[in-house]
Amino acid sequence: MRYKVLLVLVLVLACFTSFAQDKKFYIFLCFGQSNMEGNARFEPQDTTVDSRLKVLQAVDCPERHFTKDTWRTATPPLCRCNTGLTPADYFGRTLLAHLPADVKVGIINVSVAGAKIEVFEKDQYQTYLSTAPDWMKNTAKQYDGNPYARLVELAKMAQKEGVIKGVLLHQGESNTNDTLWTKKVKGVYTGLLDDLHLKAKAVPLLAGELVNADQNGACASMNKIIATLPQVIPTAHVVSSAGCTCAKDRLHFTAEGYRKLGSRYGATMLALLGYKNVVVD
Contact between 148 and 121 under an 8 Å Cβ cutoff? The reply is yes
Q: Which of 194, 249, 263, 281 is catalytic?
A: 249
What's the CA gap between 105 and 20, in Å, rounded? 17
Instruction: Out of 18, 34, 98, 237, pick the active-site residue.
Output: 34
Task: Tell how strand 53-56 and strand 71-73 pair up.
Answer: antiparallel
Q: Which of 3, 21, 276, 263 is nearest to 165 (CA)?
A: 21
Catalytic option among 111, 241, 252, 263: 252
Closest by Cα among 145, 158, 197, 148 to 69:
158
Any catalytic annotation for residue 34? yes
The C-alpha angle with vertex 128 and arms to 127 and 129, in degrees rounded to 5, equals 95
Which CA distances in Å does 5 have to 12, 17, 29, 106?
A: 11, 18, 40, 39
Backbone angles phi, psi at 239, to 5 degrees: -105, 125
Distance of alpha carbon 18 from alpha carbon 22, whole angstroms: 12
Residue/partner pairs of 260-264 with CB below 8 Å, 24 or more apart: 260/90, 261/87, 261/90, 261/208, 262/86, 262/87, 262/88, 262/89, 262/90, 262/91, 262/92, 262/93, 262/94, 263/90, 263/91, 263/93, 263/94, 264/208, 264/239, 264/240
Taking the C-alpha atoms of residue 163 and residue 160, their distance in angstroms, rounded to an integer, is 8
Known catalytic residue at 174: no
Q: Does residue 98 have an active-site annotation? A: no
Neighbours of 41 (CB within 10 A): 12
Nearest alpha-carbon partner for 203 in 170, 161, 230, 236: 236
Residues forming the active site: 34, 249, 252
